[in-house]
Amino acid sequence: MTAAGPVIPNFGGASSCVLRNGLFCLGWVRQHWSDTLAPALVQHLELTVIAVGLGFAIALAGGLAAHRYRRAEQPFSVVSALLYTIPSLALFQLLVPFTGISLTTIEIALVAYTLVILFPTIVVALRSAPPEVLEAARGMGLTPRQILVRIELPLAVPAIVGGLRIAVVSTISTGTIAAFLMPEGLGHPIIFALSEPHPFKTEIYAAGALAIGLALVCDATLVVARALLAPWSRRGA
């Protein structure tokens, strides 16, 4: 009953709370924190970090390309929007023949969903430098590359971090569906509990609460990161 991995609630030797499937059995949470909830939380964080990290890298590359060559913007927008319209479960089905039942399949789907948020955010953010600032930069003899690296990118940081916050929170939420494919992430305890004849409420609520908590902590981390990366944006006017 204490084997590694997801554990079926042992009704035999369980507390009365578990036996009557109470609203929230703290004892069960304590008991299964290290074998069920904590691993799921860590997996979920990994799923999210990889998805948003890869999505950010792709969106940044695409955003820089669209910033440099305006023509690149539309195809990228259309593709990322189309990907977003595909229901996630259907996307898994589409991918399984190619990438199998694997983390790769899950990450491809999650990355695809971050693009629709991150790509337009980055494109708009890179264009947000005021025209007089760009004119002054050109007039002082900065090269186009120096203008990008020293002016446009730093000025885009607050808006890009704003996009990352949305992408992270939505990925944490969407990430629960990964469990339909593999026993990964905080979706797994939820789906597992739901699959019981009498869904075990505590497990569902605990995993749900952890997903919400993770989202809040990640969001707060990004708010702090923005303040550190762009100290100028919170001071003065």
Partner 1 sequence: MSGAAEIVFERVTKRYAGRAGAALTDLSLTIPAGSFCVLVGPSGGGKTTALKLVNRLVAFDEGEIRIDGRSVTDLPAVELRRGIGYVIQQAGLFPHLTVGDNIATVPRLLSWPKGRTRARVAELLELVGLEAGDGQRYPAQLSGGQRQRVGLARALAADPPLLLMDEPFGALDPITRIRLQDELARLHREVAKTVIFVTHDIDEAIKMGDRIAILRQGGVLAQYDTPDAILARPADDFVAQFVGEDRALRRLGLIRLGDIELAPPPEEVDGGLHASREMSVRNAVSLMLGAGVESLVVSGEDGVPAGVLTLSHATELLRE
Contact footprint for partner 1 (CB under 8 A): 130, 132-143, 146, 150-151, 154-155, 157, 230, 232-233, 235-237
If the CB atoms of residues 3 and 140 are measured against partner 1, the closer one turns out to be: 140
CB of 120 to partner 1, least distance (A): 22
Q: How far apart are CA 21 and CA 190, in angstroms?
A: 15
If the CB atoms of residues 124 and 204 are measured against partner 1, the closer one turns out to be: 124
Cα distance between the two ends of the chain: 60
How is residue 95 written in tokens?
Answer: 């991918």
Q: Which residue reads 């990322």 in tokens? A: 80
CB of 145 to partner 1, least distance (A): 11
If the CB atoms of residues 49 and 136 are measured against partner 1, the closer one turns out to be: 136
Residues 6+ apart with CB under 8 A from 207: 37, 40, 186, 187, 188, 189, 190, 193
CB of 142 to partner 1, least distance (A): 7
If the CB atoms of residues 74 and 146 are measured against partner 1, the closer one turns out to be: 146
CB of 133 to partner 1, least distance (A): 5
Q: Which residue reads 């025209």 in tokens? A: 131
CB of 163 to partner 1, least distance (A): 18
If the CB atoms of residues 134 and 191 are measured against partner 1, the closer one turns out to be: 134
Q: Determine the Cα angle at 192 with ends 112 and 48, to 5°.
A: 30
- Cβ proximity of 167 and 175 under 8 Å: no
CB of 189 to partner 1, least distance (A): 44
If the CB atoms of residues 70 and 138 are measured against partner 1, the closer one turns out to be: 138
Q: How far apart are CA 207 and CA 200, in angstroms?
A: 11
- Cβ proximity of 189 and 206 under 8 Å: yes
Residue 184 CB-half CA count within 13 A: 21
Q: How far is residue 110 CA from its own chain's centroid? A: 7
